[in-house]
Structure 1
Amino acid sequence: MIQIGDMLPDVTLMEYIETEGQGCSIGPNPVPVRAAAAGKTIALFAVPGAFTPTCSAQHLPGYIERYDELRAAGVDEIWCVSVNDAFVMGAWARDQGTAGKVRMLADGSAQFAQATGLTLDLKERGLGLRSNRYSMLVQDGVVKTLNIEGPGQFEVSDADTLLAQARQLR
């Protein structure tokens, strides 16, 4: 399992872009994790699934609400990672209004979740292999803080916890 002081896994996530921008075409675009994190402070949080109750009602909205404060605390980007495809993550982004605040990164084959060792087996519930719920602060690709939730919990991976940690790292 990934630990504080470890580098992020060298895998590629996917991001659905709705509007063409500098270097980004419309549609799913590859995001090589290590390259995308290089030289930046990233507030990264992972959820078991897009459109799920806790993820949609509490987890993601907290990061949207705390965007300005996280930026003021030195965070360059906020990443939401989920074991869903890029089209689902794009639809969830539209639904939640994340544009310009949270990058919605798809881990469609659970490669990132497996590489971090933070998987959640929900096969018996018909959801397959998912990501555990957690958050981390990453500086230049290195994990600086790590907050892993217990099964069915939402207590330590919230935006307020990560914001307090970002302020301490400054």
Structure 2
Amino acid sequence: MIKVGDSLPAVTLSEYSEVEGNGCSIGPNPVDVVKSATGKTIALFAVPGAFTPTCSNRHVPSFLENRDALKAAGVDEIWCVAVNDPFVMGAWGRELKTAGKIRMLADGNGDFAKAAGLTLDASGLGLGLRSQRYSMLVKDGKVVTLNVEGDPTKAEVSDGATLLAQARG
């Protein structure tokens, strides 16, 4: 499992864009994790799945509520990562009104979750391999804090308020 001091996995995620700009076309666009994290402070959180109750009702909203304070604490970007396709992540972002606030990044094949050692086997629920629920503060591509939930149905240690307190130091 990834730990404090480790670099983020060198994988490519995908982000759905509804508007063209900054070299991005409309539709899914690749996001090189290493390049995108270089020189930035990122509040990264991962969820087991888009549109699921805890993720939609508590986890993402906790980061939306703390967005301005996270920015004031030095966070450049907030990333939400899930083992879903970019179209689902784009639709979920529209539903939760995350545009310009949280980057909704698809880990379609679970490559990021696998490389980080943070997978969740939800096969018993018909969901296959997913990501554990966690948050981390990342500075210049390196993990500074890591908060992994013991129970994936809870968002108690990986929420936006907890990460904000850690970002403030």
Q: Which interval holds the TM-score relative to the shorter structure?
A: over 0.9
Establish whether residue 163 from structure 1 lines up as the match of residue 164 from structure 2.
yes
TM-score, scaled to structure 2:
0.98
TM-score, scaled to structure 1:
0.98
Which amino acid is 2:63 matched to? Answer: Y
Q: How does 1:1-170 map to 2 (within 5 A)?
A: 1-151=1-151, 152-168=153-169
1:110 CA drift (Å): 0.2
Cα distance in 2, alignment partners of residues 21 and 58 from structure 1: 31
Cα distance in 2, alignment partners of residues 154 and 95 from structure 1: 20
For structure 1, the residue ranges without an aligned partner over 5 or more in a row are none
Cα distance in 2, alignment partners of residues 100 and 154 from structure 1: 23
Cα distance in 2, alignment partners of residues 58 and 78 from structure 1: 16
1:153 CA drift (Å): 2.7
Cα distance in 1, alignment partners of residues 88 and 46 from structure 2: 15
Give the 3-state SS of the residue equivalent to 1:39 in structure 2. Answer: coil
Cα distance in 1, alignment partners of residues 118 and 22 from structure 2: 33
Cα distance in 2, alignment partners of residues 54 and 18 from structure 1: 26
Which amino acid is 2:40 matched to? Answer: K
For structure 2, the residue ranges without an aligned partner over 5 or more in a row are none
Count of residue correspondences:
168
Give the 3-state SS of the residue equivalent to 1:154 in structure 2. Answer: coil
Once the two structures are aligned, what percentage of the paired residues are identical?
A: 70
Give the 3-state SS of the residue equivalent to 1:155 in structure 2. Answer: coil
1:39 CA drift (Å): 0.1
Give the 3-state SS of the residue equivalent to 1:36 in structure 2. Answer: helix
Q: Which runs of 4+ in 1 moved over 4 A?
A: none
